[in-house]
Structures are given as C-alpha cells and as structure tokens.
C-alpha cells in the first residue's frame, strides 16, 4: 500500500509539472548566427536561460538555428510568424529603418562596447520616429549590444596607411567602406558569413571586423596579420526584435518579463563579444602564429581624424537619403548619450550586471509596458 501511494504521489507530481510546463508560453527565437558566435552562445542562449527566471516559468524559448532562419531571412521570419524574437541587423534595411542607418553611419565613433549598446538603446526607446519606423516594419525593439573595437584582419600584415592601398577589404557597412576608400583600399560588401570563402578564394585580402571573427568564422585559418587602428564597433543592432503580432498577444506582465530577460542578455552578450571573446581570439591567433602589428602612429592619427570628420558625413547622408532635416541635432544627441554611457561604463568597470541594472533604471523602468511597441 505504501508503494502504491508513493506511485500515485509521484504520478501526481509529474502530472503537475507537465501541466505547468504545458501552460508556459514558448517563444520561437532565432539568433541567425553560428554556435560559436556570441550572438548564439551568449545573446540567445542567455535569453533562453533568463526568460523562465524573469517570468516565473510562464515564458520559455526554443532556439531556431541559422539553417532555419539566417540573418538575411530574419525580416521575413518575424513578419510571417516563423520566429517570435529574432536578431535583426537594421543596416540590412536602411531605407525602412533610417534612424538605425544614421546610428550605423556613426560606427567609427564607437570605442566602449557597453556604452554603445546602452546609448543606442536609450536613444531608440525615447525616439518617436524610431518607434514609428519599427512599428511600420512590424517589430518591437528590446535593446542593442556591441562588438569589440574592430581591427584589420588581413592575409598580408598592415602597418602603415600605404600598406592598405589596393587591398580588397570586407566591409560591414557604409562607414567602413568610406574608411577603406579614404586610405586607398577597395571595400567589398559581402555578408560576414561569406568572409571565409572570399578570403580563401582570394576575392578579398582581409576584413574590417571583430577579432572574434577569427574564431566565429574560422578566419584564424587564413589571417596572417592583425592591426588595431581606430575603426569603431558594430552596435547598430536590434538584438531582440520581437514580432509585433507576438507582442500584441502578450500581457503587460509577459512583456515586462521578456524585456527584463532581454536587458540581461544584451549586457551578457556585449560582455562576451566586446570584452571576453577578443582575449580568447587573441590567444588563438597567437597560438596560430598570426602577427599582431603595431600600427604606425601617423596611421593611427589619420584614422582617428577621419573618424571624427565622418560624423558630419553621416549627418549629410541622412539628410540627402532620408530627408532627415534635423540630422545634425540627432547626431549631437546620440554622441552626447555615448559620452554619458562611456562615463557610466567606466564607473562600473564595464561590469555586465551593473550595466544591465543601470540600463534598466535609466531606460526600461520608465517604459509603460501596456502601451510600448503598440
């Protein structure tokens, strides 16, 4: 009898657990990146971990791999309902998301990864035209993150500006193309996923990218030189673009839980991509015999001067292409936010938990979750 009671009790407990799991809402999430990339290993794996914690088990997630939803397919996946939450790169759609395009044009001004993710998050949440753009696009914004400062990953080591002349370099966006052209290189606009093949086939001579790409995209097998010059970071991201239909079907409490999980994951991702992964990649590069080149001081100075002057170019482009008449004011506002968050990032010693807490207090705690994104 005792054993029978134990069996019934165990069955009842299992039934309760299964029932609770069945009641949880499972979100389909997609990073669009390969497993080694921080967008998968930390950003989206982080969201999957934090979501049940922040929602008391009411929300869970199932990951869709890049073979199901790639970065290039993210827009369609979100708009058709294949994915509920996806890693959207707004620079793929500059005409539809011009505010993100403007932020992307300012990439060369970036230095501190945590500061950049936080600055773009605060700017976008409080920008009425940004919110309207995303609504028209069919998504809800839940924060940004940033890479480490970009470097030159080349098949022939680069020390001076003259060494760049004629080199074909993979460019991740317009500011990098302008930078390359300024120094006599030839920018090549291809997906980061195509970098390895392009370098191995000789289509390009290198890439302007995160040093983490050595591991995330196997460039450690092809790169001969790494050169650090002021190249900014990649931060124009919508890390957790949420399908508007999914968002509309969620309660204010569910939205808050998703936002809290996303905020934690954004900081976790930036810590990995911007601070930890570069050290791991550098060790792998050293082990592979890749040369770390000290750039000529004149080259560094010229690159920094170009980065500063390029802000005016970014504003002019926004005016011309998107009729953004207040572009200069927007640039000034964003640069001021960058300065604010650089100070905060320094104050907390670039600690991810502290940064997540500050972003929540400064930005997300002021949001009305019953109306945001609607």
Q: Residue 135: inside a domain, yes or no?
A: yes
The answer to whether the beta carbons of residues 143 and 239 sit under 8 Å apart is yes
Q: Residue 92: inside a domain, yes or no?
A: yes
pLDDT at 337: 97
Q: Residue 187: inside a domain, yes or no?
A: no
pLDDT at 5: 36
Q: Residue 113 region, left (φ>0) first, then alpha (ψ -120 to 50), else beta?
A: alpha
The answer to whether the beta carbons of residues 116 and 106 sit under 8 Å apart is no
Tell me the per-residue pLDDT of 214-233, one tens digit each, with 9 for 90 and over.
Answer: 998 999 999 999 999 999 99
Q: Residue 219: inside a domain, yes or no?
A: no
For residue 160, the 8-state DSSP code is S
Tell me the per-residue pLDDT of 73-109, one tens digit each, with 9 for 90 and over.
Answer: 999 999 999 999 999 998 888 899 999 999 999 999 9
DSSP string, 28-88: EEE--S-TTSHIIIIIIHHHHHHHHHHTTTSEEEEEEPTTTS-GGGHHHHHHHTS-SEEEE
Instruction: Report whether pLDDT(10) > 90.
Output: no
pLDDT at 204: 98
Mean pLDDT of 32-55: 95
The CATH number assigned to the domain holding 54 equals 3.40.190.170
Q: Mean pLDDT over all residues of the chain?
A: 92
The answer to whether the beta carbons of residues 357 and 118 sit under 8 Å apart is no
Q: Residue 220: inside a domain, yes or no?
A: no
The answer to whether the beta carbons of residues 236 and 175 sit under 8 Å apart is no
| Range of the structural domain that residue 240 is part of | 23-146+236-284+346-366
Q: How many angstroms from the chain centroid is the CA of residue 332?
A: 22
Q: Residue 328: inside a domain, yes or no?
A: no
| Domains: count for the chain | 1
Q: Residue 68: inside a domain, yes or no?
A: yes
């Amino acid at each position: 009898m005792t054993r029978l009671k134990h069996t019934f009790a165990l069955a009842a407990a299992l039934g309760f657990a299964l029932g609770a799991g069945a009641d949880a809402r499972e979100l389909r999430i997609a990073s669009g990146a390969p497993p080694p990339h921080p967008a998968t290993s930390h950003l989206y794996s982080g969201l999957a971990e934090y979501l049940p914690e922040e929602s008391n088990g009411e929300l869970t997630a199932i990951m869709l791999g890049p073979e199901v939803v790639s970065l290039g397919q993210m827009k369609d996946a979100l708009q058709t309902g294949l994915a509920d939450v996806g890693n959207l790169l707004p620079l793929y759609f500059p005409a539809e998301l011009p505010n993100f395009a403007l932020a992307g044009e300012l990439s060369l001004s970036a230095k501190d990864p945590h500061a950049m993710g936080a600055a773009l998050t605060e700017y976008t949440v409080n920008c009425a035209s940004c919110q309207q753009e995303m609504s028209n696009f069919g998504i809800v914004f839940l924060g940004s993150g940033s890479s480490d400062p970009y470097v030159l990953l080349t098949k022939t080591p680069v020390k001076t500006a003259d060494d760049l002349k004629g080199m074909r370099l993979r460019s991740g966006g317009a500011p990098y193309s302008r930078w390359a052209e300024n120094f006599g290189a030839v920018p090549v606009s291809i997906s980061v996923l195509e970098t390895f093949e392009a370098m191995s086939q000789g289509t390009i001579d290198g890439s302007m990218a995160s040093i983490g790409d050595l591991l995330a995209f196997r460039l450690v097998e092809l790169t001969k030189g790494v050169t650090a010059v002021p190249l900014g970071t990649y931060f124009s991201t919508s890390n957790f673009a949420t399908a508007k239909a999914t968002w509309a079907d969620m309660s204010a409490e569910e939205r808050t839980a998703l936002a809290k999980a996303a905020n934690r994951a954004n900081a976790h991702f930036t810590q990995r991509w911007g601070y930890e992964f570069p050290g791991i990649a550098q060790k792998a590069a050293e082990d592979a015999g890749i040369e770390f080149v000290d750039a000529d001081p004149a080259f560094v100075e010229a690159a920094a001067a170009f980065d500063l002057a390029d802000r005016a170019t970014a504003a002019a482009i926004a005016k011309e292409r998107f009729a953004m008449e207040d572009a200069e004011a927007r640039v000034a506002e964003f640069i001021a936010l960058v300065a604010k968050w650089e100070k905060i990032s320094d104050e907390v010693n670039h600690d991810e938990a502290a940064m997540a807490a500050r972003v929540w207090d400064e930005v997300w705690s002021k949001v009305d979750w019953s109306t945001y994104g609607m």
